[in-house]
Amino acid sequence: MLGSFNKFFPRTLSRQRCRKTRRENYAADKISSRWNRFRVTLEMRGDNDGIFIKLLGALVTSMRRFMFRVISVGPIPNHIAFIMDGNRRYAKKNKLEQWSGHNAGFLALMSLLRYCYELGLKYVTVYAFSIDNFKRRPEEVQQLMDLMLEKIEGLLKEESIVNQYGVRVYFIGNLNLLHEPVRIAAEKAMLATAKNTKTVLLICVAYTSTDEITHSAQESCVKKWDRTANSDYNGEISEQKEEKRIIKLVDLDKHMYMGVAPDPDILIRSSGETRLSNFLLWQSSNCVLYSPRALWPEIGLWHVMWAVLNFQRNHSYVEKKVKQL
């Protein structure tokens, strides 16, 4: 009898946790959806002077900062990564053109960056464009490249979020695969923000984790070969010299595209998908995963808050696991 109870109890506990997670996701989605509808309604009222909207905006900002102070009593993540999934479905759902869905996704990203930096995060990583995305229709790829070029140039404007929060921008991935104007703009943005030290934004473009790991392994081999080739071995073979040729974990870490940032504490994927889709496979072994049902343009403040609260709830367990490594 006791044995059957022990078999049943973990399964029951797992089901209860799943139901609790679904309820939490539903609550966050509902709050965010209601706020978005309320905001759109206010805009459609056509307040000529916009006084009411400005006052409401100031009130919401004050409330948000108050909530951030409360939540900051607990441990705050250092690094959040986002898989921005659902732009095309959002456009289809709202009967919009595909480029409108991607544009709405960019606006959602700007809001989330503001929330993250106000909360005190140092690093934010976004999965903007996978190498696999090049397999889409050529006209859609071109639209995405044009949009990317426009938004990269917008990041350098004086009033942009990059200058407001002192953000250093990195473009992560095989940048040689990008269209030349986009690659040049990305390099220009990285150079222009190189002296910013307050916060960091890592934009993964032309990126997959398998490509990153392959690149790191190749670079590690080249470095080791160059180092041993330049040494004077005098035809001798010894264990110490052979040891210098071995590729170690630290060598791979050093040559990862993401080597400029610590591993993420939280990874959020929108639209309810639980796949990592070849994103940060090397770096996400100990991070908290969160998959709200909202499509990417629908992601808002409450989803970030929920993810941070979930991180705080699991923080002691994750820290214990990291220390065991």
Q: State the pTM of this model.
A: 0.80
- Which pLDDT score, from 0 to 100, does residue 267 have? 97
- Which pLDDT score, from 0 to 100, does residue 4 have? 43
Three-class secondary structure of residue 76 per DSSP: coil
- Which pLDDT score, from 0 to 100, does residue 13 have? 40
Catalytic residues: 85
- Which pLDDT score, from 0 to 100, does residue 50 have? 62
Chunked mean pLDDT (size 10), the chain, 325 residues:
42 48 55 56 53 72 84 92 94 89 92 93 96 92 92 84 93 96 96 94 97 94 75 54 77 94 96 93 93 93 92 82 68
Neighbours of 247 (CB within 10 A): 14
Distance CA 278, CA 58 (A): 40
104-113 contacts: CB < 8 A, separation 24 or more?
104/297, 105/296, 105/297, 106/147, 106/151, 107/297, 108/296, 108/297, 108/298, 108/299, 108/300, 109/82, 109/84, 110/161, 111/300, 111/301, 112/82, 112/299, 112/300, 112/304, 113/161, 113/165, 113/167, 113/201
